Amino acid sequence: MFIQTEATPNPATLKFIPGRTVLDSGTMEFVNREAAARSPLAEKLFGVAGVTSVFYGSDFVTVTKDDSDWQHLKPAILGAIMEHYMSGAPLLADGSVASDAAADEEDEFFNEDDAETVEMIKDLIETRVRPAVANDGGDITFRGFKDGIVYLNMKGSCAGCPSSTATLQHGIQNLLKHFVPDVVEVRPM
């Protein structure tokens, strides 16, 4: 088994591509050891000293570290991913393939009068933003819309990335303002 590794815009995060499907749909993020108990792979990765976050995309795993050196962490992370896939163990302990998408949608907030605008915003995020962000090992999801402000949740390599503010303000905000005149600002949540 060959696992590719790619750098991300976030120097604290690396993207690992195992050459097979990780999640059938959506994304999942584990920000601590307790949350990782749901996934045997995430548990193994949190067992590597220095790992602070694990994120699953459709065909990749991103791992975020503390101030530890990648030179020491990378072999242990590659070993944990390889061991997991070679064992045939399920990604999630309960055998499900559910992603975070359902929970994200439950927490959305916006005025029903803005439903049409929100649909346009969500469509742009889904078709233009998320694919680009997935290439960098992360994900951005819609959280809410109020008073012209779009609230987005940043996951994976995007969370805590030094360039995330620029991505939000110059990339996503400009895109949304261009196509949706009601948008005045984009903020992280």
Phi, psi of 100 (to 5 degrees): -80, -5
Q: Which amino acid is at 67?
A: D
Residues 20 and 61 occupy one common structural domain: yes
Amino acid 116: pLDDT: 94
Q: 116 and 158, same structural domain?
A: yes
Cβ neighbours around 50 below 10 Å, total: 16
Residues 184 and 111 placed together within one structural domain of the fold? yes
Residue 12: inside a domain, yes or no? yes
Q: What backbone torsions phi and psi does residue 62 show, to the nearest 5 degrees? A: -110, 140
Residue 130 confidence class, pLDDT cut points 50, 70, 90: confident
pLDDT tier for residue 102 given thresholds of 50, 70 and 90: low
Helices (H), the chain: 33-36, 40-46, 70-87, 101-106, 115-124, 130-135, 164-166, 173-179
> Is 121 contained in some domain?
yes
Q: Which residue range(s) make up the domain with 49?
A: 4-87
Q: What is the pLDDT of residues 18-33, one digit of tens each?
A: 999 999 888 999 999 9
The alpha carbon dihedral of 72, 76, 81, 86 has a sign of: positive
The domain tally of the chain equals: 2
70 part of a folded domain: yes
Q: Which of 181, 179, 1 is nearest to 83 (CA)?
A: 1
* Contact residues for 8 (Cβ-Cβ < 8 A; gap 6+): 14, 15, 62, 136, 137, 138, 157, 161
Residue type, 23: L
Residue 170's SS3 state is helix
Q: Are 14 and 80 in a shared domain?
A: yes
Pair 24, 67 in one domain:
yes
Let me know: does 53 contact 65? Beta carbons within 8 Å: no
Identify the residue whose tokens are 């962490």.
73
Residues 120 and 71 in one domain: no
Look up the CATH number of the domain holding residue 66: 3.30.1370.70
Task: Output the pLDDT for position 183.
Answer: 93
pLDDT digits (tens, 9 = 90+) for 31-56: 999 999 999 999 999 999 999 999 99
Residue 120 confidence (pLDDT) above 90: yes
pLDDT digits (tens, 9 = 90+) for 56-76: 999 999 999 999 999 999 999
Tell me whether residue 49 is in a domain. yes
93 lies in some domain: no
Residues 64 and 21 in one domain: yes
CATH number for 105: 3.30.300.130
Q: Express each pLDDT in 144-168 by its tens digit.
A: 999 999 999 888 777 766 677 777 7
* Residue entry with tokens 């889904």: 126
Note whether 112 and 83 are same-domain residues.
no
Would you say the pTM of this structure is higher than 0.85? no
pLDDT of 133 reads: 82
- Domain shared by 123 and 170, yes or no: yes
Same domain, 43 and 68: yes
